Amino acid sequence: MSSPGRLRPLPLGVCGALLATLPAAAQEIVLPDESQVVAIEAGRLIDGRSGDVQEDVTILVRGARIEAVGAGIDVPGDATVLDLSDHTVMPGFMDMHTHITSDPSGGDSDGSLRQWPGYGAVVGAKNARKTLLAGFTTIRNVGAYGFEDIGLRDAINEGLVPGPRIFSAAHGLGITGGHCDTNGYRPGLLDEPGVGEGKANDAAGFRDAVNYQIKYGADVIKFCATGGVLSAGTAVGVQQLTEEDMRALVETAHFAQRPVAAHAHGNAGIKAAVRSGVDSIEHGSEIDDETVALMVEHGTYHVPTMMAFEAVVEGARNGFLTPHSAAKALEIAPRFEASIRRSIAGGVKIAFGTDAGVFPHGENAGEFALLVRAGMTPMNAILSATREAATLMRRESDLGAVAPGFLADIVAVRGDPLERIELLESIDFVMKDGVVYKLDGREAIGGAERLAS
């Protein structure tokens, strides 16, 4: 039996201090303290913020943060020196659209119905490691079941398993039978989802659903403004929430200072979401000139997820997708690239996002080449995964740049990705929060001091 006092809340103000002194017995990853200094000698630096390239710079990392960046910096005698003089060094990449707790299913939900509680978090741990080693030090998870993404996020933060920093949405919000629901089964087979699982059908319901996700740990709110490809019984581009409901949802999330991501394909749904004040439109496969103008006017981000489009079209052609999803994938196949090209050319703000989970996790960097194919310069494609993603998450003061005071999330590749963008698919070096996870292309869990010994 547990002692009666055990579950009593700790007095406010004491929690932080107590947590800091808890023994780290459960930690697998030793998080660095201020005494650990690493000096990275970078041959070339893309700082992720200015759009400039610098040569032969030293990056001094103390503990989890970057202390100094520049040429001719004094390197303390006890620093671990990492020679990346034949590399291009960049901030760790940020993917704004992932489903880390699941693997590709092709639109078939049967498998997930056979998974016991907690299974998704284990799948997520496997995927988180792959994602981090691919150079993604931050992801946004936009939809998971059972708060498994929240548990995974916290376990990574505590150093139990390797993975990117996660901004979690918990459950994606949407209407009954909409793209964010689980459809196609006979009535009574599944518990009917409620606001806790993100289902609502009016403004009050959506306010409840937002607050519930935030109460249980959501960092961002995701909702399905239109139908989608991988859901049963929805038409891809058709609007699913009234604008009034979207306004209520966005207002509630913004009260709590949480950004809002809207899954949206068709113009009517995108426009209503943009007018409602959402922070980002995810996918956007049918964007026209009027929608481009509206997004520019409102400063709304577009998260293109071109890898997901490529994956579903491929899946439709090779039989991986369920018939209902395959038909929809082939319907949008001729349109999505033109839509994204129009958005880029029209000056819509682009934040990097892939929809990893629709295709295997760890392949996220394939999006860079697709963005370049759709009209972005290689530098702007990189900035979409650094400065722009950080700004979308309101973290532009400590994420997405190699600059003093920023968290030490740093990656590197051999050669020049501005010459050959595909190099970003072969990341050679990964540091997150000052911990080195990959060196010389090999996994190196345990921190720089272990590397030095």
Sites of contact with Zn ion (CB under 5 A): 355
Among the listed residues 450, 364, 449, 379, the one whose alpha carbon sits nearest the alpha carbon of residue 421 = 379
CB of 367 to Zn ion, least distance (A): 13
Structure tokens at 44: 């070339």
Please, which residue, 279 or 355, has the CB nearer to Zn ion?
355
CB of 355 to Zn ion, least distance (A): 4
Please, which residue, 58 or 354, has the CB nearer to Zn ion?
354
Please, which residue, 355 or 388, has the CB nearer to Zn ion?
355
Please, which residue, 309 or 406, has the CB nearer to Zn ion?
309
CB of 238 to Zn ion, least distance (A): 17
CB of 116 to Zn ion, least distance (A): 23
Please, which residue, 149 or 355, has the CB nearer to Zn ion?
355
Please, which residue, 130 or 283, has the CB nearer to Zn ion?
283
Please, which residue, 181 or 355, has the CB nearer to Zn ion?
355
CB of 146 to Zn ion, least distance (A): 17
Please, which residue, 95 or 355, has the CB nearer to Zn ion?
355
Please, which residue, 47 or 197, has the CB nearer to Zn ion?
197
CB of 308 to Zn ion, least distance (A): 7
CB of 137 to Zn ion, least distance (A): 20
Q: Distance (Å, rounded) from C-alpha 317 to C-alpha 311?
A: 10
CB of 179 to Zn ion, least distance (A): 9
- Residue with the CB atom nearest Zn ion in the bound state: 355
CB of 139 to Zn ion, least distance (A): 12
